[in-house]
Structure 1
Amino acid sequence: MVVLIAIVMVAATVSGFQLSADQAIQGKVEVPKQCLVFEDHFDRFDLKNWQHEITMSGGGNWEFQWYANNRSNSFVEDGILYIKPTLTADFMGEGAMTDGGVLSLWSSEPSSQCTGCERVSGASSGGNFINPIQSARIRTIDSMSIRYGKVQVRARLPRGDWLWPAIWMMPKYSTYGVWPASGEIDIMESRGNHGKAYPYGDSSRVSSTLHWGPHSNLNSYNLTQAEVIAENGTFADDFHTYALEWNEEGLRTTIDNKTVLQVDFDHSFWQRGAFPEWCANPWKAGSIGAPFDEEFYLIFNLAVGGASFYWPDHESKPWSNSDPHPANQFWNNKNQWLPSWGEGHQSALAIDWVKVWSDAPC
């Protein structure tokens, strides 16, 4: 199915930010032939390429999933990598999940090391359920990172209410400090809702974002963010190629070679953010593109919901961000969203292949 794409400019204040179907990075200079440094067509699930991030924390957005290394959540089938959500109740029983159960993910193995890896449900944890969804987050932190180059990922997005797929990059080294001072590159993220009366997004919309700022309260992502809307169908209907092009002059993200977000490194991010005078500049020792002048690695994940700005409250949403137990609300209202996840692999982020080129000499 062919999906036409309407480009919507969200961050009009981005310097040099222009949108077109075939625009290259403004001021881009000739560079040597790029070197293919990473490639996976998923003939098998090669864990030399992919490290699972195992955590109970639900990410920084109080999401409703926990991440595991489990072939129910991350697996290859017929040349496609699937990252698929499943129910914690199917893993440990609903009674244990809601009251008195313990989920422990501790391991001494380097490939299974975990953060925030034990949780008790019910009264012992202030009434909180164990995260009701099990999912996966995989990354190339041990196998591949680049400083300037190109990333291409052929993927089909999941269909199902409150699913949050992402293809993104994080700094291998926190050169400029903790998040978001060292940056974050979101090549693609979307909300899996389909046919919902939720005004803040669904699987027909995809966004690209850069996160940056001296500290989390001064994250200026809103200045470097853009969104595309499919004119017919959704991005869950078929595979599309999501890409990043990045060099010393700037970066842009694309879908099927059409520009989504372009940011030119024509002035520093310190100037771009117009931060308060009392705030220290973490990038003063970096280049004009800092913090986006260091090595970044690739991440695929599928989150579910969360009590954050990404999911503004609305009457169609089965939880409230202000509720003291939003994950409990979400689970207790599962009859409103679980049927939308469908059968088979409809609810999974499906990845056909990934290729990464580096600007560094081969």
Structure 2
Amino acid sequence: MAAAACGGDGGSDNDDTGPVDPPINTRPERCLEDPLSSGYCLVWQDEFSGDAIDSEKWTHERNCMGGGNNEAQCYVDDPENSWVAGDLLHIKAIRKDAVGPGVTDDDPNYDPDDTSASGTYTSARLRTKGLGDWKYGRFEMRAKLPQGQGTWPAFWMLPSEWVYGGWAGSGEIDIMEAVNLKVGGEDQIHGTLHYGGPWPGNVYSGEAYRLPGGINPADGFHEYAVEWEEGEIRWYLDGDHYATQTSDGWYSTTAPGNSNAPFDQAFHLILNFAVGGDWPSNVNDTGIDESVFPQQFEIDYVRVYQCTIDFATGKGCASTDGAFVHNPGLEAKRVASP
């Protein structure tokens, strides 16, 4: 496909001549490079090629609240747990007692000097909130995942403004999660949406995927991505489109008349390495195997693209091989009164 016309949020102004190539060396102001043949253009990236985490792209969250899942770690801003070296971002989970705030960094009661909560591991959770927030696009990471009972790395997105209420009423997009890799042959990654209403009215739907040939994601680097457009989200591993969910299968209890809610607002990126918690501690060998720590989550790059064919909806740049699972999502059962 030829590169799409690049004139702004509405795409080409041509009426019946079809898409045209942009003049050489020109592109929309938001594009860092000329558009790809698919029409996607790079709008944000971190190649982790320096010697420090870029504070203009990422901030550290600092708390011991357990992620809402009874996780064992405290998230800290410490070079022992997160650093850039060798063109990689390293996030390291260490067996180490720590104390810190018992609420999230966005809670109105958050006090960074609070030591009321504790954890038995230290790790890191980085986010782009307020520095990089997007509505629609392609979001990708190349990374090597940690292994062992109790490990839980994730690359995911949360809304920057909770327009449809608290979690998960305003949505959550899990681009990639994995737990307990290499324990009893565990080799799955997961792509999931959380939506519905604020807890306990939250629901989720998603798909697991295995690399072909018995390859384990903990043994090497792989590219994990989603393409998100109005009404549709697609998941990819090394370019293989393995799952799709659409607005027919997600909903918001606080906006029953809006079929695209809650996935029609700006979201930001999160990279974190959790330890234990309700999911990994209850599957495979169960619990946390202290002997496997420390473990590292190594990230080669994170890149964000948007669709030049239609910036406003993200439509027109989809890639698919036709062999994916179309997850039907869940029926809206707790819809608020009009």
Specify if TM > 0.5.
yes
2:140 and 2:224 in contact (8 A); partners too: yes
- Which of 177, 182, 189 is 2:170 aligned to? 182
- What is the match of residue 237 of structure 2? 255
Taking only aligned residues, the RMSD between alpha carbons, in angstroms, comes to 2.8
Q: Which residue of 1 aligns with 2:268?
A: 297
TM superposition shift of 1:105: 6.3
Residue 55 (structure 1) shift: 0.8
Shift of 1:73: 0.7
Higher helix share: 1
Aligned residue number for residue 241 of structure 1: 223
The percent of aligned pairs where both chains have the same amino acid is: 32
2:43 aligned residue:
37
Match of residue 198 from structure 2: 215
Query: Does the 8 Å contact 2:58/2:127 carry over to 1?
Result: yes
What pairs with 1:1-362 in structure 2 (closer than 5 Å)? Answer: 33-44=39-50, 45-89=53-97, 103-104=99-100, 118-119=114-115, 130-196=118-184, 202=186, 204-221=187-204, 224-230=205-211, 231-265=213-247, 267=248, 269-270=250-251, 281-284=253-256, 286=258, 288-306=259-277, 308-309=278-279, 311-312=281-282, 316-318=285-287, 337-341=289-293, 347-359=295-307, 360=311
Report the residue type matching 1:228 in the other structure: Y
CA deviation map 1:129-178 (0-9, x unaligned): x3110000000002111111111111110122211000000001101111
Q: Output one character per residue of 1:30-88: Cα deviation in whole Å (capped at 9) or x when no partner.
A: x9944422111101221111011111101110100010111111101100101111122
Work out whether residues 62 and 100 of structure 2, in 8 Å CA contact, stay in contact via their aligned partners in 1. no
Q: Deviations over 1:261-302 (max 9, x none)?
A: 20123x3634xxxxxxxxx9312353x221011101000000
Preserved contact between residue 195 and residue 202 of structure 2 (Cα < 8 Å): yes
Query: Is the CA contact 2:93–2:293 (under 8 Å) kept in the aligned structure 1?
Result: no
1:179-231 deviation line (CA, Å, top 9, x unaligned): 1110000000001342448xxxx3x110010000112223220xx21001234
Contact 1:55 1:117 in 2 (8 A): no
CA contact (8 A) 2:136 2:229 kept: yes
In the alignment, is the contact (CA less than 8 A) between 2:149 and 2:286 conserved in 1?
no
Q: What is the TM-score with the length of structure 1 in the denominator?
A: 0.67
Quick one: distance in 2 between partners of 1:238 and 1:165? 14
Match of 1:276 in 2: none
Q: Which amino acid aligns with 1:85?
A: A
* Cα separation, partners in 2 of 1:135 and 1:214, compared to 1, 3 Å: same
Asked whether the equivalents of residues 82 and 89 of structure 2 are also in contact (C-alpha less than 8 Å), the reply is yes
Q: 1:104 to 1:60 in 2, by over 3 A?
A: closer
Q: Residues 104 and 245 from structure 1, CA distance in 2 versus in 1: closer, same or farther, beyond 3 angstroms?
A: closer
* Letter of the structure 1 residue corresponding to residue 303 of structure 2: K
Q: What is the CA distance between 1:253 and its match in structure 2?
A: 0.9
Q: In structure 2, the residue corresponding to 1:47 is in which secondary structure?
A: coil
Flag the structure with more relative contact order, 1 or 2, with Cα contacts below 8 A and sequence separation at least 6.
1
Give the secondary-structure state (helix, strand or coil) at the position aligned to 2:143.
Answer: strand
Partners of 1:165 and 1:213 lie apart in 2 by 24
Choose between structure 1 and 2: higher strand proportion.
2
Q: How many residues align?
A: 266
The answer (yes or no) to whether the contact 1:165–1:302 under 8 Å persists in 2 is yes
